[in-house]
Amino acid sequence: MGCFLTNSSVGKKVVMSVTGCFLVLFILFHMSMNLTMIFSREGYNLICEFLGANWYALAGTALLAAGVAVHFIYAFILTIDNYRARGKQRYAVTVQEKGVAWSSKNMLVLGIIVIMGLGLHLVHFWSKMQLVEILHSGAAIETINGAEASIHPANGALLMAFTFSKWYNVVLYLVWFAALWFHLTHGVWSMFQTVGFANDTWYPRLKCIANVVATLIFLGFAVVAVLCFLKSGEYMTEMLHWTPGL
């Protein structure tokens, strides 16, 4: 079984599909969690506090990191294999649409942008929340409204409002979300194609599902970032003196 997953082209694509499915489910969960920020900053913080550095959150973080690493490594391996076998034709599939989609020919590049965006996200949020709790290093210190403020690791609402109060962060994240949209419009239907669903009947349905999922994810994340930018002052004032309740 191990040789099939590591040496066979089909096996490698199965690994890509399984890890991709897991990552899409996580992204949908993360997007749903972020949308809570729109309706209740306190509610969003309760979720952050509940997750925090608890054993289940740490286990989930480790599993997520492993999934991202495996997905990216196998994507790189498959790209190299495709270059060797077919020149510059990448991510060949059994069913091709008329005029191969740009995203399907640039999955590795899009994947690299997604990974870079993930790194930015880790710096802005994970390093100031869960990592702070793991290291027991107190709280992140940021300058808010002209004065230094201590941001509790569970005060995700304040941290999000502070991060997106800077227009350039909003732009960077929107670029990241756009790359994720392109990546998912191909990746979601491709993972079903790998396990045999891409026929004349299911191909257009899967493409539609992929576009819907990718668009929902893009809009879900983008609306939170833009709203936090537009209401950053209000949100920061509201959450500046929040204290954990669990």
Selected residue with higher pLDDT from 18 and 127? 127
| pLDDT tops 80 at residue 161 | yes
Please report which confidence band the pLDDT of residue 30 belongs to, taking 50, 70 and 90 as the band edges: very high
| pLDDT tops 70 at residue 108 | yes
Alpha-carbon distance 22 to 48, whole Å? 21
Percent of the chain with pLDDT over 90: 39
Q: What pLDDT sits at residue 3?
A: 61
| pLDDT tops 70 at residue 246 | no
* Nearest CA among 101, 214, 228 for reference residue 169: 228
Selected residue with higher pLDDT from 95 and 196? 196
| pLDDT tops 70 at residue 87 | no
Tell me the mean pLDDT in the region 62-84.
82
The single residue listed with the structure tokens 């994970």 is 126
Percent of the chain with pLDDT over 70: 81
Alpha-carbon distance 21 to 34, whole Å? 20
Residue ranges covered by each domain of the chain: 2-239
Q: Are 37 and 224 in contact (CB under 8 A)?
A: yes
2-239 CATH choice from 1.20.950, 1.20.1300, 1.10.3470, 2.60.40 = 1.20.1300
* Diameter over CA atoms, the chain: 61
